[in-house]
């Protein structure tokens, strides 16, 4: 039997900066209810509790986005936690956010993000998706990217990148950019492994960051779930830890989230202790590959036959 895999805590970006491989996500589940209503007080209590638990467990990378509607809540929670932990400085944290509806006015959107997050800079700022015109956003990638490059040079953004870009989108961006994207944050899980995209990112020295790493739980593909359970039992891991480690084995950074303390602690521990083997990774990939499925941006990618 082969030995368990070893996972590094950081990935080197093309600019030389280090990206913490595990990020805690602050997406829409924290703010919007299904009917579109929200309770700010309730959301703040839940998000603050989860963020504080994540930071207590060792997470130092926080993943945000304009689209999530939680930047202000996250800023309040981070400030409160750092007040209680004065030995942790801003430079000890890595904060990622993303721009979407604000693309027509990049500078104003970034300034709002910084104000909401209560930080003088963000470590990584991403264009949330390439499907700008398809979503009736009055902006274009070339102009928006030039503005992001200017903000990077001013120091308000340390690094810039993209999200949900496929090869065709990356090639377009690389054809005119001054500062290349350092990260491409994509949906990645055993039911959606995109080898062509992963290979292209590697060739271009673009780090891949995975979101929705636990999507297999929602797919209810019984052969995959049974295999994950079997592997988890073999290594004394939880199924969630197995799926996170499968993503890490692809060489990516991984974004996960939870409101449950035990799950947060489990996620924070996947870089150390027991780990799955390459044989486990290959078995999951093969089994889940029988049920390929994309969860996010389905129509946009379908239009590209992707």
**pLDDT tier, 304 (very low <50, low <70, confident <90, very high otherwise):** confident
* pLDDT averaged over every residue in the chain: 93
| 218-258 per-position pLDDT tens digit | 878 899 999 999 999 999 999 999 999 999 999 999 999 99
Residues 37-63 as b/e (b if ≥16 CB within 10 A, e otherwise) read: eeeeeebbebbbebbbbbbebbbbbbb
Let me know if 36 is exposed, middle or buried by CB neighbors in 10 A (0-12, 13-18, 19+): exposed
- Please name each of the domains of the chain with its CATH number: 10-302 (3.20.20.100)
Q: What is the pTM of this model?
A: 0.94
**pLDDT tier, 40 (very low <50, low <70, confident <90, very high otherwise):** low
| 142-172 per-position pLDDT tens digit | 999 999 999 999 999 999 999 999 999 999 9
**pLDDT tier, 35 (very low <50, low <70, confident <90, very high otherwise):** very low
What average pLDDT score do residues 196-203 get?
A: 98
Q: Which residues are catalytic?
A: 68
Residues 99-116 as b/e (b if ≥16 CB within 10 A, e otherwise) read: bbebbebbeebbeebbeb
Who's near 76: CB < 8 A, 6+ residues apart?
Answer: 44, 48, 118
pLDDT score of 33? 45
Share of the chain above pLDDT 90, in %: 83
Taking a C-beta distance cutoff of 8 angstroms, is the pair 104, 133 a contact?
Answer: no
128 belongs to an annotated ligand binding site: yes
């Amino acid at each position: 039997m082969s030995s368990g895999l070893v996972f590094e805590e950081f990935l080197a970006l093309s600019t030389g900066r280090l990206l913490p491989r595990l990020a805690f996500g602050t997406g829409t589940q924290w703010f919007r209810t299904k009917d579109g209503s929200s309770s700010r007080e309730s959301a703040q209590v839940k998000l603050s509790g989860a963020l504080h638990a994540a930071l207590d467990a060792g997470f130092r990378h926080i993943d945000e986005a304009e689209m999530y509607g939680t930047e202000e809540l996250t800023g309040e929670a981070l400030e409160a936690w750092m007040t209680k932990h004065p030995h942790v400085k801003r430079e000890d944290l890595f904060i990622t956010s993303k721009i979407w509806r604000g693309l027509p006015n990049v500078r104003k959107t970034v300034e709002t993000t910084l104000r909401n997050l209560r930080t003088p800079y963000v470590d990584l700022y991403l264009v949330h998706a390439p499907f700008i015109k398809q979503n009736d956003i009055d902006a274009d990638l070339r102009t928006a990217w030039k503005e992001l490059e200017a903000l990077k040079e001013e120091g308000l953004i340390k690094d810039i990148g993209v999200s949900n870009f496929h090869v065709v989108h990356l090639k377009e961006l690389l054809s005119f950019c001054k500062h290349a994207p350092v990260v491409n944050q994509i949906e990645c899980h055993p039911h959606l492994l995109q080898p062509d995209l992963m290979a292209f990112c590697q060739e271009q020295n673009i780090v891949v960051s995975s979101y929705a790493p636990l999507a297999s739980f929602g797919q209810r593909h019984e052969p995959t779930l049974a295999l994950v359970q079997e592997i988890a039992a073999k290594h004394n891991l939880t199924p969630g830890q197995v799926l996170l480690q499968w993503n890490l084995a692809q060489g990516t950074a991984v974004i996960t989230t939870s409101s449950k303390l035990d799950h947060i602690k489990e996620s924070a521990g996947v870089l150390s202790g027991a780990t799955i083997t390459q044989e486990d990774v290959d078995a999951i990939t093969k089994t889940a590959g029988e049920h390929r499925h994309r969860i996010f941006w389905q129509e946009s990618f379908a239009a590209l036959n992707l």
